[in-house]
Structure 1
Amino acid sequence: MDESTTAPRRGPHDWLVDACLFLVAVLSGLILAGLRLDTSPRPPKWLFDLDQVTAVVGCAALWLRRGRPTELAVVLIVLSTFSELITGAVLIALFTVAVHRPPRTTMIVSVAGLVAGVVYVLLRPEPDMPRLALWVMGGAIQGAVVGWGLYVHHRRKLAAAMRERAARMETEARLRAEQAGQEARTAIAREIHDVLGHRLSLLSVHAGALEYHPDAPSEEIAHAARVIRQSAHQALQDLREVIGVLRAPVGELPQPTYADLRQLVAESDRAGMRVTMVEEHTGTVPDRLGRTTYRIVQEALTNVRRHARGAPVRVSIAGAPGAELVVEIVNDAGPAGAAGFSGARPGRGLIGLAERVALVEGRLEYGPTTSGGWRLGARLPWPE
């Protein structure tokens, strides 16, 4: 709760509540004054007049209860040691403290009210009621009012905690949505890189052949043009598929399987690469494992076309269920001695590939070979 001593700005509802409480305190004083006039013996006139003045001041002071509830309650409690007509104002002040201040402060002020009650019954005893009974009755009324105020206090704290929790959950949900969106964008970018990188590298190979061998036989030129046209058409098709699912969940992106691996190798062969594929595994490769294997081989062949054009490539896949699937792609040095990569730092393709392998709890390895070529391998857990 707010511990400040500055009164908050009152709204229409606050003015209505304060006016009602003020009228309750005034009505309480008037009723007690009327009862006192009807009883005998009456208190001395000077005491009754002082009691009325004190009650008027106490009721008027209730308009300050929102700014300084604790100080107001203490002052009214002190006045209640001799004033009877101020009782209503004291109870309202105690209720305000219980609602707006910590329970520890409320307990201290309540004890002070009980002590003031002892002083009152000693100074102004009732002729037809024992002092202890009078004090117990006053203490019970005070306890009921303070208990009600503490109930309101804890209800407000609970409501504030629930609002804070709701706001925090909303923030967390927004952050999770942003994170999910970022992961989806990363997955889509990775798919576009893998799909288009392979196709465009084929285009680059055959376009380069046409550029550097303009005097090639017409059959070779026609073959190269046909491969360029087919690769461009397929690249557009792949791009349409990826773009078509931009709003779909990541799991619905177009994904290859292990069965598509032979077609990938055949395309590379038709593009002029020398690719040898050896399969020494047993059992059917699961879809998730097959997709990862496909992307590993696709990235490796794409990098060979970029950095070691003309180099022979060996693709070997071995393993068994319950152990692991070992994928290895090795290329010899290209005609100009290129090993498959232009530098030691991995590019975006290898970084994305490492992320894919990590998703299946595998391990990616790559580096130059002793013969001047390049090796890319992965060990992927193969569940039974």
Structure 2
Amino acid sequence: MSWIPFDEPLGPDVHPLEDPFVEVPSNGPVDSDLDRQVLIDTVHDGHVVPEAILPLSDQAWSDFRDCYGDERDWGSHYVATSVARHLGLSGYKRVLLARPLLDFNRFAGINELPLGHDHRDAIFPPMSGHLDRRRTRILLEQGYDRIDDRMESWIEGRQVKLSVHTYRPSNEIGTERPAVSLITQSAAYDRQTDLRQASFYEFYPRQLVEFTADRMLTYRIATYLERGFVPTGLNSPYMLPEGAVELRAQVWLFVRFLRERYEREGRCPVAPGTREYEAIWNMLGNTNRRSAEAISLREQLHGSARVPRSQDLDFGLLQDVYDDIRRYLRENGGRIVWDYRFSPDRMSTIIVEVRRDFILRMEAVEGRMRPTQVHGGRVDEIGERIASAIRDYLRDDLPLRRRHFERGPED
């Protein structure tokens, strides 16, 4: 099997946005155990422009089409389908919204001025300049929030989350990129900055920013791909942006882990379930920056904002809960970090980048470069090797991790 026609919608296509995040069936036999443990998604291969944000001006459409081809992760659908089919999954999850309108792999903000890929938010130029508040609210509430809710329910109980992307063949100076790259580290960690300062992830220990996946899994995937003569890089040519789903998921899961440990040891200065208690944990779990209440509360607790007169929560209790959780983490941080970092139950989140020209042929279509063919053999090879690595990791490496974890850290 070599080159076959590219049969995905080129887009952009205008549709009602009934569901921005859908399950795409793999149309193969299903392994129920693996289907429960592994989640595969694509978040940048969408082609849909929601009807609800129309009409757009001629200039808006022109700017959209100018960036649409470069922003879309062409071909990621084929790789995701291949991995899902070889693993025996029922399918994979796909964001349908076109990325120039909304990038779910970023914080839910709006940039008026251009920023680099690592720093921009979900809605960014040029389209942010064409979207009024009504349209951005539609994209955030009917797009971002619904995708986020669905993602939260789908990652529950998973062992591995794999997000498939594709990137350009080379960087700005023409250096060829690896055929595949596995991204598991935060850009903030690499810059020797503190993620808690960069993106206000309170209490998220810096050691945990080092990687988002069990490195036994990462290296196994890389090794299996290299055995098939598929050049594979690690955390190259870039790392996870601060708003990446892979990183947000790790912080959200750590907050849940911390809360379970905190409550199990009976440290609560107020009863769990009280409004003040729940408000603090909701603030800590606001990893997508969508909760106005959580953002306001954080500013109050950090001393830079006044407590609004309309607030009906007891600020003294809020401060007591917040300070006690901080104290608990400071006193027990070493063991808590070790337990979460090496826990066999910690979900591994990985971005898989595939070089577009490795699997696609691009040609001019109506004056714009678009994929016309896909290399079925290479897609199948990549999917089969990644699937084999995940399967062998779950069967062989994870039980080993569990045995070592149960022995505890060495002195």
Which range, TM-score by smaller chain? under 0.3
Higher CA-based Rg = 1
Higher strand share: 2
Higher helix share: 1
Q: Which has the higher contact order (CA 8 A, sep 6+)?
A: 2
TM-score (norm 2): 0.19
